[in-house]
């Protein structure tokens, strides 16, 4: 048999998810990439229907709305494709697909790549 079952191989998955320090989350991906995230940024980018209007796409979280003291309390995998955060402000409806987390990566390499492409 030449073809084998697969998930989309262009889509890496988290291999290890860990807390780096008080405010930083780290993810090691199956393709070897090492991502780092500030937890406040992750809370601000929550993709749930409460935080991003489902119909208009309008962002309901305005700059400055999320306090610096925000922390995740618990982080869980959802199925094989996403991660759910339970935040210290009680919010827990955001499922962050792996694809989104890759886009939000704040490692030096990704930040440079984004700056070069003119985004953020």
Q: Which residues bind other proteins (CB under 8 A)?
A: 1, 3-8, 11, 13-19, 22, 30, 71-82, 95, 97-98
Q: Rounded to whole angstroms, how far apart are CA atoms 71 and 94?
A: 14
Closest CB 118 distance from other proteins, rounded Å: 27
Closest CB 71 distance from other proteins, rounded Å: 5
Q: Of 14 and 114, which has the nearer Cβ to other proteins? A: 14
Closest CB 39 distance from other proteins, rounded Å: 8
Say whether 10 sits in a helix, a strand or coil. coil
Q: Rounded to whole angstroms, how far apart are CA atoms 102 and 120?
A: 15
Q: Of 22 and 108, which has the nearer Cβ to other proteins? A: 22
Ramachandran region of residue 117, left (φ > 0), alpha (ψ -120 to 50) or beta?
alpha
């Amino acid at each position: 048999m030449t073809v084998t079952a697969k998930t989309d191989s262009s889509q890496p998955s988290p291999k290890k998810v860990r807390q780096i320090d008080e405010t930083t989350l780290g993810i090691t991906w199956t393709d070897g990439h090492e991502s780092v995230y500030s937890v406040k940024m992750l809370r601000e980018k929550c993709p749930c229907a409460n935080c991003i209007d489902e119909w208009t796409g309008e962002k309901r979280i305005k700059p400055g709305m999320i306090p610096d003291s925000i922390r995740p309390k618990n982080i869980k995998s959802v199925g094989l494709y996403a991660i759910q955060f339970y935040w210290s402000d009680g919010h827990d409806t955001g499922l962050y697909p792996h694809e989104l987390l890759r886009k939000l990566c704040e490692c030096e390499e990704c930040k440079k790549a984004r700056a070069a492409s003119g985004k953020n």
